[in-house]
Amino acid sequence: MSIKWICKHHTELSIEQLYAVLQLRAEVFVVEQQCVYLDVDGQDLTGDTCHLMAWQEDKLVAYLRLLDPIQQGGDVTIGRVVTAPSIRSRGIGHELMEQALENAERKWPDQPIYLSAQAHLQGYYSRYG
| All domains in the chain, ordered by first residue | 4-126 (3.40.630.30)
Tens-digit pLDDT profile for the chain (129 aa)? 699 999 999 999 999 999 999 999 999 999 998 888 888 999 999 999 999 999 999 999 999 999 999 888 899 999 999 999 999 999 999 999 999 999 999 999 999 998 875 544 555 445 545
The model's pTM: 0.88
Residue 88: other Cβ atoms inside 10 A: 12
**DSSP character at residue 27:** I
pLDDT value for 100: 97
Report yes or no: 23 and 76 within 8 Å, Cβ to Cβ: no
pLDDT value for 122: 52
